[in-house]
Chain A
Amino acid sequence: MSTPELEVQTHPIATRITHWLMALSIVILIGSGWRIYNASPIFGFTFPEAITLGGDVEQALALHNDPGVASAIGWHFAAMWLLAFSYLGFMLWNIFSGHFWRDFLPVGPVSFWRDFVAAATFKLQHRLGEYNVVQRVAYWGALGAVAMMLLSGIAIWKPVQTYPLETLFGGFQGARIVHFIFMTAIALFIVIHVALVILVPKTFVAMTLGRATAKSHKGDV
């Protein structure tokens, strides 16, 4: 039996602040975005009003015939700045601090497949402070999805001033669909991310207080 090692996870203050600001802004953006989507649905469904953000719909309708979209847009166009700046801060910080290169790379198809199969068969160990390849790919995917949200969002917000940006997405309505698809990807990421945090609560401690430790499981397998 090997001697138990201590696993340590630390997150610098810049990472923690930008992480939580991104989390807050994304929750606001998704909630208000669903309300805005409901005003002119792209697909054949709408989001239940109770899980959308933008105040009381009945009240807004009674007051001035607006289905609560004005307030939702207010939220959306406030939180977009919060996301844009916290995302930029997060990216710059992690590029220059070396966190990306140290912990999120390398990723390769072979190692991804190995860790993916291990995860799918529940054989993948979570080691605090270490990122397996499935995790690394998920983080790159989420960060890429946010970039796509910002880009398609700009195309929807300013289709004339940024023209022909929208043509990248197949036009204005195409940009709305792309915005929707990457919203879905981010929502799925959040569900899995939060589920795994519940399984390994120490990661929440590390992301909030800056440091967490755990006894190594390496010897247990």
Chain B
Amino acid sequence: MDLERRRLFGGGLSLGALTMLTGCDISDHDSVQRALALVSRFNDRVQAAIFGPNKLAPTFSEAEAVKDFRYNAWYGPEKSPVLTSADYRLMLAGQIKDKTPWTVEKLYSLPQVTQITRHVCVEGWNMIGKWTGTPLGVFLNQIGADTTAKYVGFECADGYYEGIDMATAMHPQTLMAFKLSDNILPTRHGYPFKLRIPTKLGFKNPKFVTTIYVTNQQPKGFWTDRGYNWFSGI
């Protein structure tokens, strides 16, 4: 008898079934959320289909670039992780041939480009900034990344995590940005580098990147785990 009961509650009844039995409307809420998540995955596929791998985001003039770029995170700037060039190493993982960690010095010696592009936040505000760095695609080729894989993922020193599709990773304007407004990236903006992706919403631009990995499994994202759309292309 005891055993029977344990089997019933241990395996047979899910939490959802329990809340349904008690008539709680949380299950309704959950099923709505599940339906919305399904549509969100459909929206991922639509966005991947309409993404132009060579369609360039608009660029702007020097005068339009904001010098005092807005700080944005779920924590205050004083809590930004302070990484130093002495200790920092960029780790590489997944489908990459040469996984030797990179120092800041070595990263900063990579060939760089400057672009003035617009950061668009999911909330609706936007801001133009001047960014300098190495196209992620150039870096991925240099380290022997398998660019036929589907995704590139990022882990960050502040606990943030993100991931993007390979088409966006190889987009010519997707930068490992080392400089903002001609100055080395300040700590609050993600020293030693942040991903600057003008074809994605702002939250798909991770800062303080400590690991880059190449994978066929869709990487999770900090905000997508909180209900935002995964692809979030613009």
Task: Check if A78 sits within 8 Å of B39, measured CB to CB.
Answer: yes
Taking CB atoms and an 8 Å cut-off, the chain A residues in 155-195 that contact chain B are: 156-161, 163-164, 172-173, 176
Contact check, A71 vs B122: say whether CB atoms are below 8 A apart. Answer: no
Is A75 on the interface with B (CB-CB < 8 A)? yes
The digit string for A48-69, where 1 denotes a CB below 8 A from any CB of B, is: 0000000100000001111001
Give the contact stretch, choosing among B3-11, B186-194, B206-214, B220-228: B220-228
Q: Taking A39-B124, A77-B229 as contacts, is the C-beta distance between A160 and B57 under 8 angstroms?
A: yes
Please determine whether A55 and B29 come into contact, CB atoms closer than 8 angstroms. Answer: yes
Asked whether B58 is an interface residue with its Cβ less than 8 Å from the other chain, the reply is yes
* Secondary structure of the B contact surface, majority rule: loop
Whether A74 is near chain B, meaning CB under 8 Å from some CB there, is yes
- In the complex, how many angstroms separate the beta carbon of B200 from the nearest chain A beta carbon? 9
Contacts of A157 in B (CB 8 A): 234
A158 adjacent to B36 (CB under 8 Å)? no
Q: Is A145 an interface residue (CB 8 A)?
A: no
A residues engaging B (CB < 8 A)? 36-37, 39-40, 42, 55, 63-66, 69-71, 73-75, 77-78, 81, 156-161, 163-164, 172-173, 176
A69-B122, A176-B124 known; 13 new pairs, CB 8 Å cut-off, are A39-B123, A40-B125, A42-B124, A64-B225, A65-B74, A66-B227, A70-B227, A74-B33, A77-B40, A156-B124, A160-B198, A161-B50, A161-B199
Chain B residues at the A interface, C-beta cutoff of 8 Å: 29, 33, 35-37, 39-40, 43, 50-52, 55, 57-58, 74, 118, 120-126, 198-199, 223, 225-229, 233-234
